[in-house]
Amino acid sequence: MKDEYRGLVQAHSRYLTGDKRDARIRIEGNCDERGSREYNLALGQRRAEAVKKVMTVLGVSDSRIETTSYGEEKPVAQGHDEQAWSQNRRADIKYAGE
C-alpha cells in the first residue's frame, strides 16, 4: 500500500474499532486495464488483502472484513493513459449496506 493512503486506512480502522464496533466492511480490489483478466483479478485480490492486513494489525477483527477483486471490471476513470490507470489501481472500502 502506498504511504499516501496509509492515513485513510488508519482513519477507517479507528472508526471501526471505535464508533462502529459492529460494522462489517468489504474491501474491493481494482486494477487498470493492462494485463490478462486472470492476472488483474489476482492483482486486485492482493491489493484488497494488503489493505485488510493493515486494518487487522490496527485492531479490526479479521471476521468483519471481506475481500473481493473486480480486476479491471469497475474503472473509475475512462482512458488509456497513466492518469486513468493510476486512478483505477485502488482498493475501495465499502461498509455493509452500501
**Structural domains of the chain ordered from first start:** 3-95 (3.30.1330.60)
What whole-number distance in Å separates Cα of residue 1 and Cα of residue 19? 25
What average pLDDT does the segment 28-53 reach? 98
d(CA 97, CA 47): 22
19: its cell numbers: 464508533
Three-state SS at 12: helix
The predicted pLDDT at position 1 comes to 81
d(CA 28, CA 35): 18
d(CA 75, CA 97): 21
pLDDT range class, residue 19, cuts 50, 70, 90: confident
Q: How confident is the model at residue 35 (pLDDT cuts 50, 70, 90)?
A: very high
The answer on pLDDT for 98 being more than 90 is: no
Cell of 37: 483478466
Query: Is residue 62 classed exposed, middle or buried when 0-12, 13-18 and 19+ CB atoms within 10 A define those classes?
Result: exposed
42: its cell numbers? 489476482
